[in-house]
């Protein structure tokens, strides 16, 4: 049996985190990691304690808004934003961290990740825009787009 790589391990965790999403369009999960230890996780969904799209329906669908546009018309906070917020709430710096995410970031999340001083971003799926690429390059953030990890979990009983 072959052991999975550390990147595949954390991408699989991001997939599980995404299962908590309350967005009806995309389930996105993010995991911030430093020295092989999870610092914080985040998924996309409505602000804590507020009604979400599962209850109220999607504002973006109701208004015919295309993916990647008009981010302000949405109940959800993005997974990358939530991973930053969660780390902040718990007093954990993301400086030098790697963020594993099920999708590449929108430009707003990319700017926030740059200011969080992450060093690496790893994903397997592309968001509807690629404007983060030049920003991350300028900021010196390494980007790795890998194959989607297997959906199966392998373990010995």
Residues tagged active-site: 80
Q: Identify whether the C-beta of residue 71 lies closer than 8 Å to the C-beta of residue 40.
A: no
Q: Is the dihedral of CA 75, 79, 80, 86 positive or negative?
A: positive
Question: Cα separations (Å) of 125 from 56, 130, 131?
Answer: 27, 11, 15
Q: Identify whether the C-beta of residue 30 lies closer than 8 Å to the C-beta of residue 42.
A: yes
């Amino acid at each position: 049996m072959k052991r999975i790589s550390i990147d595949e391990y954390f991408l699989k965790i991001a997939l599980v985190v995404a299962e908590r999403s309350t967005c009806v369009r995309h389930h996105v999960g993010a995991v911030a990691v430093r020295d092989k230890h999870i610092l914080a996780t985040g998924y996309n969904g409505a602000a804590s304690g507020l009604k979400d799209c599962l209850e109220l329906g999607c504002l973006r669908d109701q208004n015919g808004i295309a993916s990647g546009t008009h981010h302000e018309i949405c109940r959800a906070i993005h997974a990358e934003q939530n991973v930053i917020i969660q780390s902040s709430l718990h007093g954990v710096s993301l400086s030098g961290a790697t963020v594993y995410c099920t999708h590449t970031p929108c430009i707003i999340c990319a700017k926030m990740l740059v200011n969080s001083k992450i060093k690496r971003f790893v994903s397997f799926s592309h968001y509807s825009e690629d404007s983060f690429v030049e920003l991350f390059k300028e900021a010196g953030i390494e980007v790795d787009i890998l194959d989607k990890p297997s959906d199966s979990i392998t373990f010995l009983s």
